[in-house]
Amino acid sequence: MSSGERSWDSAWDEVFRRRQWGRYPPEELVRFMARSFYWVDDRGEVKVLELGCGGGACTWYLAREGFDTYAVDGSTCALERAREYLDSEGVSARLVEADFLEIPFEAEFFDAAVDVASIQQNTMEHVRSIVKRVWELLRPGGRLFSMMVAKGTWGDGLGKEIELNTFTEIREGPYHELGTTHFFDESELNEVFSPFSQVEIERSTRTADGRRHEIRHWVITATK
């Protein structure tokens, strides 16, 4: 990887300025954390990294549940909104502005990493590099949770295809005006997450616009 290479698109600052985001985490993440870590006596000893905190919904949940929470985002605006939300709820987390390719923590620092539809906003080259970086950051036995948009989701194919299954300028659907988005098939997930020793892949689907469209996400859990 060349020095100075970035995965984050600066257009996301404008996205966060003009859009209001949800204030609660997806139930899939809550279920993952409950099954993986709710049994721990001292949650404050469990270091969790969120990739792409956005407005702070998942970061707030992780911090509120007592985990030692860290979050990284490339958008100054997103981090400002996340900080305001955390402060308003009386919880704290370490928020870091950084590109996913250069997350500034030492190897084997985290017990868990969380990605809710953030890594997917990249080309496949960068997706592979980011997942490899996350693997490096996790301790042996560390757990990864990821949600990635699946092929067939509303908007797939409705934009400029810059490589296989990766689109920009998506004309409609939930990823309209969100820059680069990769729509994954299962074979790609098996390849991307191959550094992990245990990988489980499920799928979450909902409908939209009077059931005319489907929004499909892969739900991936993996263990280092």
Output phi, psi for 95, to 5 deg: -105, 130
Instruction: For residue 222, name the pLDDT band (cuts at 50, 70, 90).
Output: very high
* pTM of the complete model: 0.91
pLDDT, tens only, 167-185: 999 999 999 988 999 999 9
32-69 pLDDT, tens digit per residue, is 999 999 999 999 999 999 999 989 999 999 999 999 99
Cα-based angle 30, 36, 40 (whole degrees, multiple of 5): 110
Contact between 70 and 82 (Cβ < 8 Å): no
Give me 96's structure tokens: 């870091």
Query: Rounded CA gap, 197 and 137, in Å?
Result: 15
DSSP string, 150-204: BTTSTTTTSSEEEETTEEES--SSTTTTS--EEPBPHHHHHHHTTTSSEEEEEEE
Pick the more confident residue, 5 or 17: 5
CA distances from 60 to 36, 53, 74, 186 (A): 18, 9, 18, 30
Q: Which CATH superfamily is 11-223 part of?
A: Vaccinia Virus protein VP39 (3.40.50.150)
Note the pLDDT of residue 1: 38
